[in-house]
Amino acid sequence: MIQDGQLLNYIAGKWVHSRASEYLDVRNPATLEALVRVPLTPAEEVDEAARAAQAAFSDWRRTPPLERIQYLFKLKRLLEENFEEIAQLTTQECGKTLGEAKGELQRGVENIEVATGIPSLMMGYNSEDMARGIDEYMFRQPVGVVAAITPFNFPGMIPLWFMPYAIACGNCFILKPSEKVPMTMSKVFELIDQLGLPPGVVSLVNGGKTVVDALLDHPTVRAISFVGSSPVAKYVYSRAAANGKRAQCQGGAKNPVVVLPDADMEMTTRIIADSSFGCAGQRCLATAVTITVGEAGPVFREQITNTAATRKVGYGLDPQVEMGPVITPESKQRIESLISKGISEGAQVLVDGRDSHIPGYEHGNFVRPTVLDNVDPRGELGHTEIFGPVLSLSHVQTIDDAIELVNSTSYGNMACLFTSSGAAARKFRYEAQAGNIGINIGVAAPIAFFPFSGWKESFFGDMHAQGRDAVEFYTEKKVVVERWPREWSRKF
Ligand code: NAD
């Protein structure tokens, strides 16, 4: 909810003005026009949200799961009725195309659909006669007050990786969205406000590091979900763990994709271009490095050069546009200086996206698709997450060399292979060290029934977002060992 050009927080079932002394401008990345001001909420308001959540918990956990999920059915309907408006807000604050904004919202809605299965997903298990006359059974109970901290690149989808499962399992949930893109969730919370949920079951607290630290240190908050860059993910994980909280922290990536000579090269090029340059490369499942094997090298190099050079870049609300701007001027500057660094380390530029000027959008944060050849994997460009529309090419002679290169990175979010050989595909999915594997797929994003996996520096924790992992994360297991002594039971 926006009042007087400022975003409000949603605490204890009410829209409230923050008492923040500092606000940030949220800007449209295509025009730099200021859209709204977001409060950097102080810690005492996080305490108010946590207290409201704790107060709501006792009744909410006793509400039968079948009743709890009725709110989710209603939320799904409201999101669908307001789909276009929410997607447009995402494009305005985040820069991605309207099609991409709709795609991510749809992925979010799918998580609501899966979470409506909680009455069966939350079931425990049991067994009779573990000893004579003694039965054992396991229940799942909600954890309590839980919180999620989310990044700028999927303002609609990522909060919905968490919230539906958290509340369906009987927890009370606090969201801290990215301060760069707070408008999408503000709109979604206007819909949540119409659900008639008991006050305190869900809260929205805008802000930055102060809010994060207050959530990490608050004794009432029992579990933290985080998605963002690896250094912050590691920090959040350590501080949450030091405070005895459960934590699942998804980090950054630098995803390698291998192309074998037997791949369908035209399809492969189109898919990899979408993966590298879709969402302006600001996707944790974007292809950052393509490793071609043998004769695939020259063919792929030529085709990707043409595809990258002709991609239509502009404002995401223009229906012709295939790629929008990056999030901030600082981000544009960081990406361009990494490209320059790579060139100084010996890479050759096949397509150079620096110093882009988009007619009508001269102030926007635009970097056009960039392709660099022969990037040194040990150089700064070779191992840094760029998070922009930049594709690096490397060439090797065998699939074993390619897999060795795939596994040499410190990240493990995604690895993909393009081939028409089943045997090569099996070898790759077996040996590649990454949590999400694509075979002839460029963005191996698991659908909501599966965990959004991630290994190495791309994930800190045990249980991932989505599906059954989410149910594990948001519930405590309680095992009951039970005897009712009678003549048929064991005698003492
Ligand atoms: P970020 O780490 O800068 O911010 C993420 C969240 O952490 C935001 O809510 C922000 O307010 C907060 N934050 C930032 N700095 C902090 C600090 N020092 N202390 C406490 N909190 C802090 O990430 P971003 O730039 O918003 O998002 C891009 C990153 O997210 C990329 O690295 C991308 O790969 C990653 N990402 C990962 C996944 C995944 O599933 N693994 C998905 C999407 C994005």
**Cα–ligand 1 centroid distance for 288 (angstroms):** 18
The pLDDT value given to residue 416: 98
Catalytic: 169? Answer: no
**Cα–ligand 1 centroid distance for 235 (angstroms):** 11
Residue pLDDT, tens place only, 82-111: 999 999 999 999 999 999 999 999 999 999
Identify which of 24, 107, 152, 413 to mutate to test ligand 1's pocket (most ligand atoms within 8 A of the CB): 152
Of 137, 121, 144, 139, nearest in space to 61 by CA: 144
Residue pLDDT, tens place only, 235-246: 999 999 999 999
Based on its alpha-carbon atoms, the radius of gyration of the chain, rounded to whole angstroms, reads: 24
Of 431, 430, 389, 436, nearest in space to 411 by CA: 436
Identify which of 229, 230, 466 to mutate to test ligand 1's pocket (most ligand atoms within 8 A of the CB): 229
460 Rama class: left (phi>0) / alpha (psi -120 to 50) / beta: beta
Identify which of 153, 237, 334, 365 to mutate to test ligand 1's pocket (most ligand atoms within 8 A of the CB): 153
CB 410 within 8 A of CB 456: yes
List Cα–Cα distances, 230 to 145, 208, 254, in angstroms.
Answer: 25, 17, 11
In DSSP terms, 481 is beta-bridged to 136
List Cα–Cα distances, 55 to 21, 66, 171, 176, 246, in angstroms.
Answer: 28, 21, 12, 20, 21
CB 433 within 8 A of CB 456: yes
Joined together, the tokens standing for residue 276 give 């590298």
pLDDT range class, residue 481, cuts 50, 70, 90 = very high
Q: How far apart are CA 429 and CA 451, in angstroms?
A: 17
The pLDDT value given to residue 196: 98
pLDDT value at 349 more than 90: yes
Considering the candidates 94, 169, 279, 284, report the single residue annotated as catalytic. Answer: 284
Identify the residues whose C-beta falls under 6 Å from ligand 1.
Answer: 149-154, 176, 178-179, 208-209, 212, 227-229, 232, 235, 250-253, 284, 385, 387, 413, 452, 454, 458
The pLDDT value given to residue 9: 98
pLDDT range class, residue 492, cuts 50, 70, 90 = low
Residues contacting 28, CB < 8 A, separation 6+: 35, 92, 93, 95
Instruction: Give the HSE-up count for residue 179: Cα atoms under 13 Å, Cβ half-sphere.
Output: 18
**Cα–ligand 1 centroid distance for 173 (angstroms):** 19
Q: How far apart are CA 68 and CA 433, in angstroms?
A: 39
The pLDDT value given to residue 488: 60
pLDDT value at 486 more than 70: no
Q: Kindly report the CA angle at 163 between 216 and 51, in degrees rounded to 5?
A: 50
Of 199, 104, 83, 77, nearest in space to 160 by CA: 104
The pLDDT value given to residue 490: 59
User: pTM for the full model?
Assistant: 0.97
pLDDT range class, residue 377, cuts 50, 70, 90 = confident
Mean pLDDT taken over the chain:
97
The pLDDT value given to residue 489: 59
The pLDDT value given to residue 94: 98
* Phi, psi (rounded to 5 degrees) for 421: -105, 120
The pLDDT value given to residue 133: 85
Average pLDDT over residues 389-418: 97
pLDDT value at 303 more than 80: yes
**Cα–ligand 1 centroid distance for 263 (angstroms):** 35
Amino acid at the residue 228: G
**Top-confidence residue, 133 or 359:** 359
